[in-house]
Amino acid sequence: MILITGGAGFIGGNFVHHWFERQAAAGRVTDEKLVVFDKLTYAGNPNTIAAQLRDGRATLIQADIADREAVKAALQAHRPRAILHFAAESHVDRSIHGPAEFIHTNMVGTFSLLEEARAYWGSLTGADKDAFRFLHVSTDEVYGSLGENDPAFSETTAYAPNSPYSASKAGSDHLVRAYHHTYGFPTLTTNCSNNYGPYHFPEKLIPLMILNALEGKPLPVYGDGLNIRDWLYVRDHCEAICQVLDKGTLGETYNVGGINEIRNIDVVTTICRKLDELRPRADGSKYESLITYVKDRPGHDRRYAIDPTKIQRDIGWRPAETFESGINKTVRWYLENTAWIDTVRSGAYRDWIAQNYAERA
Ligand code: NAD
Ligand code: DAU
């Protein structure tokens, strides 16, 4: 049994798919189940893992990681061999509008989870205790922003978070580090770059651009559009997590990235051209005509880049997808999965879009 916090979100949900497909591909049939522990905030969607919930390979507990009694009860009932900690408030723009939830989940929630997980681990003995792992899923944003010619982030780059989101993730990383150093708690941490792929909530750049384009709405590019992100297909991230869980050294951190540095404006034009090919506009115009430059994100980090030498050398992980192959799969997925899209675009979603973009006009 493995317990996954945030398993109904974008990366956690993809991880649930990846976990079982990976085992099937290796010819392994296992009765090891996944327990998804998720509060089901606006970003959590059980439809993402409906098949696995239906056939019993996964179980869902709807609760807050900051609720220690709920965490304790889940650990005692399911006795996991590992905890994979994905749950977080994850959107930088929302953290600028309302940081409190980010402190609650990312810092207080991670602290509560660590405390209960440490108590549970302390109750284990022998091989079960030796095998237990707590894998903390974090972000490259904790390292701050790079200049044009700076070397990519490595595991020894000093932390310099710039947004309430990245500061709260940095805080959680420090707690995880301290629990290993002080208590010998068996932790692993991954710091990954920007993910994209299926089931991505359409508040983030790539799904927002795909869906706005299909509806003929403006494509809002912040600032000059020259900010750079390192893009990784989500299943490559999921595979990295599987491999770090299996082979990672306790107490270590691993940077995960695609060596795919792309300017935002180039991401958007790539999506537009893919849509021109797959779903040409009725009036014959190009999707690029919808691109609109809007007011910048406050404190907007200019560039992220990951040096993946450590995970490649020590774990043997490498991404399977290029940006070209990954964005092709992603755009096709959004064209084919309108039912999933309809379930996530609630009234609350529309309110957020109105609030975030009205003030950028
Ligand atoms: P997401 O926002 O799509 O999903 C977060 C999930 O956590 C949701 O299912 C939500 O319901 C759940 N959740 C939120 N607060 C909770 C709480 N208090 N208790 C229990 N569950 C709660 O996020 P994501 O993009 O899937 O990111 C997952 C993790 O990966 C996060 O820790 C994030 O910081 C990290 N990360 C994300 C990216 C990226 O590009 N998306 C890159 C690197 C790292
Ligand atoms: O680097 C990893 C991080 O990547 C994760 O830790 C975060 O959880 C994840 O949300 C992501 O953060 P970003 O802020 O980089 O992602 P986002 O999709 O919000 O924005 C990507 C870039 O696109 C960023 O430079 C801001 C810009 N942008 C975003 C939106 C939503 C726009 O230009 N227009 C938009 O409408």
Structure tokens at 153: 């982030």
Residue 188: the pLDDT is: 98
Residue 31: the pLDDT is: 73
Q: How many CB atoms lie within 10 A of CB 326?
A: 24
- pLDDT tens figures, 254-293: 999 988 999 999 999 999 999 999 999 999 999 999 999 9
Q: Which of 38, 64, 143, 165 is catalytic?
A: 165
Structure tokens at 299: 């404190």
Residue 249: the pLDDT is: 98
Structure tokens at 220: 């809002």
Structure tokens at 102: 């980010």
Pocket test for ligand 1, best of 11, 137, 196 (most atoms within 8 A of CB): 11
Please, how many CA atoms are within 13 Å of residue 303, restricted to the half-sphere of its CB?
Answer: 16
What percentage of the chain reaches a pLDDT higher than 90?
A: 93
Mean pLDDT for 329-353 is 93
d(CA 172, CA 168): 6
67 is catalytic: no
Q: Is the pLDDT score of 307 beyond 90?
A: yes
165 is catalytic: yes
- pLDDT tens figures, 64-85: 999 999 999 999 999 999 999 9
Of the ligands numbered here, which is closest to the C-alpha atom of 67? 1
Residue 85: the pLDDT is: 99
Mean pLDDT for 139-150 is 98
Residue 32: the pLDDT is: 83
Residue 1: the pLDDT is: 94
Q: Is the pLDDT score of 361 beyond 90?
A: no
What is the rounded average pLDDT for all residues in the chain?
97
Q: Cβ(88) to ligand 1 under 6 A?
A: yes
Among residues 268, 208, 258, which one has the least CA distance to residue 232? 258
Q: How far is the CA of 242 from the centre of ligand 1 (A)?
A: 17
The three-class DSSP label of residue 20 is helix
Hey, whose CA ends up nearest to atom 10 of ligand 1?
44
Q: Cβ(192) to ligand 1 under 6 A?
A: yes
Structure tokens at 152: 């990519």
Residue 67 burial class via C-beta count within 10 angstroms: exposed 0-12, middle 13-18, buried 19 and up: middle
Find the helix packing angle between 323-336 and 205-214, rounded to 10°: 50
Residue 26: the pLDDT is: 84
Q: Which of 38, 89, 141, 230 is catalytic?
A: 141
Assigned CATH topology for domain 2-200+231-258+303-320:
Rossmann fold (3.40.50)
Residue 302: the pLDDT is: 98
With a CB cutoff of 8 Å and minimum separation 6, the contacts of 150 are: 303, 305
Q: Which neighbouring-strand residues pair with 58?
A: 34
The domain spans of the chain are 2-200+231-258+303-320
Residue 347: the pLDDT is: 84
> Which residue shows structure tokens 């797959």?
278
Residue 99: the pLDDT is: 98
Residue 336: the pLDDT is: 98
What percentage of the chain reaches a pLDDT higher than 70?
A: 99
Q: Report DSSP letters for 237-254, one per residue.
A: HHHHHHHHHHHPPTT-EE
Among residues 235, 165, 164, which one has the least CA distance to residue 200? 235
Structure tokens at 260: 């795919």
Q: How far is the CA of 103 from the centre of ligand 2 (A)?
A: 19
Alpha helices in the chain (DSSP H): 10-25, 50-54, 68-78, 92-97, 100-102, 110-123, 126-131, 164-183, 205-214, 234-247, 264-278, 309-310, 323-336, 338-344, 347-358
Among residues 136, 119, 141, which one has the least CA distance to residue 177? 136
Mean pLDDT for 7-18 is 98
Q: Which of 64, 93, 140, 230 is catalytic?
A: 140
141 is catalytic: yes
Residue 359: the pLDDT is: 84
